[in-house]
Amino acid sequence: MIPVKGYNGKKVAVLGLGRSGMATALALEEGGAIPLLWDDSAEARATAEMMDFTPVDLTRANAFDDVTSLIVSPGIPHLYPAPHPIIEKAMAAGVPVDNDIGLFFQSFATLDWESFSTMPRVIAVTGSNGKSTTAALIHHVLEEVGKPSQLAGNIGRGVLDLEPAHDGEVVVLELSSYQTELARAMTPDIAVFTNLTPDHLERHGGKGGYFAAKRRLFAEGGPDRAVIGVDEAEGRFLANQMSEGSTDDRVIRVSVDSKLTGVGWFVFSRKGFLSEYRKGKQAGSIDLRAIKGLPGTHNHQNACAAYAAVRALGVAPRVIEQAFHSFQGLPHRSQIVGEKAGITFVNDSKATNVDSAAKALQAFSHIRWIAGGLGKDGGIAALTSHLDAVVKAYLIGHSAKDFALELGETPYEICETMAEAVARASEEAQTGETVLLAPAAASFDQYPNFEKRGEDFMAEVQRWLDQD
């Protein structure tokens, strides 16, 4: 646990008692603060009571008298589409609003560091797609090369649930726009921006607000090194903003769309080959095509970003390449579930939007595609140009019939349930084909989250794999 500094003996309100909220409450208490906990859910408040906390109703009059700060869980809106009433109340009372990310950066460094031979460092990863895989891959490489490392943030553990840093340790954080938008302190040593595609637009008041939330990690954080994907206009703008000129190698530009040239520091992938160039000379290369845990162009982008971040720590290219080969990928993200009779089953339940589904469809050939769920605005019309490899689609969930209308000439079958879709795809698949779950939709019509949807897919696949 990271004890929160600066609030000893002071009242600090905590709104939202999920994973990060409860970790925040414990870390505040460990640092000597007096946490005042509240959640709109009676069930969440009951859970807090089981952990010996007494919830305090922050909706009551004068609730923020003598309160020093309000710490908000990332899922709670503070500006768009409308601030949560308790956050409005805090702001009206002049109480600063922060989140656990801000508290982490405020509290991470300790006096113990004076005795360390190598200062601990923080790598923070943000972006629309691929940030989980990128963060996990960085963490994996560090572990493989023997560097102490912890992984937290939007993936795995809450940031305040981490252990205090060891000598030379590297903490890798995956940060969502919800987390970067509100944190009052962000000082990563290395910041990574993977890409930007439209997402969470209602929460951020549009694409500009969404990008602004991501940009804060760089503009507010002032990292020593910035790894920036430049395949979108926003990334190119951000790289330009962070750089002092063409030779400024504090910015490492990353691409999977084009070969990057010049005298700066570049990492790019073309036709499955990763290349690193620095000061006009090639410094490293990796054949990514043979790495099973990183299939497809989107994963090659993740590999480039992770490679650049670890290179910024001084790790040699060949050592990174060796570590890449032992990376198994993340659950529900182009995860190979199994193979039988030459048919490969892949779980990409995390492909909840059109962009991420498109990347999954480009990663494989001869696809039996399972898609559907709770469709998002625009449906799947934007996927039309990515359906060439789809042999047949098997549609499930609330938007199955709507998706069917947008498939053009692609054969399809409305299956509704995961069990039926997996059964039909498995029965019809031929040697050399891939049964791919890439829903292009949210899961909430049939499942509580994309993880449960992916687990259901894997369970149905396992039933088929176990058949004689």
Instruction: Write down all domains in the chain, each with its CATH number in brackets.
Output: 11-98 (3.40.50.720), 103-325 (3.40.1190.10), 335-466 (3.90.190.20)
pLDDT for 200: 80
Contacts of 268 (CB under 8 A, 6+ apart): 254, 255, 256, 258, 259, 260, 274, 275, 304
Q: The tokens 């696809």 sit on which residue? A: 367
Question: Binding site: which residues?
Answer: 127-133
Q: How many whole angstroms separate alpha carbon 203 and alpha carbon 77?
A: 7
Structure tokens at 234: 């926003």
Q: How many whole angstroms separate alpha carbon 464 and alpha carbon 468?
A: 9
pLDDT for 334: 87
The per-residue DSSP string of 229-280 comes to E-SSHHHHHHHHHH-SSTT-TTEEEEESSS---SSSEEEEEETTEEEEEETT
Three-class HEC string of 148-195: CEEEEECCCECHHHCCCCCCCCEEEEECCHHHHHHCCCCCCCEEEECC
**Exposed, middle or buried, 9 (CB in 10 Å: 0-12/13-18/19+)?**
exposed
Distances (CA, A) of 369 to 35, 113, 393: 48, 52, 5
According to DSSP, residue 417 is labeled S
Q: How many whole angstroms separate alpha carbon 238 and alpha carbon 307?
A: 20
Q: Give per-10-residue mean pLDDT for the chain (468 aa).
A: 96 95 96 97 94 95 96 94 96 97 96 94 95 96 96 90 95 96 96 90 92 95 95 97 94 96 96 96 95 90 98 97 92 90 95 90 95 92 95 97 96 96 97 97 95 97 90
Question: Binding site for ATP: which residues?
Answer: 127-133
pLDDT for 125: 98
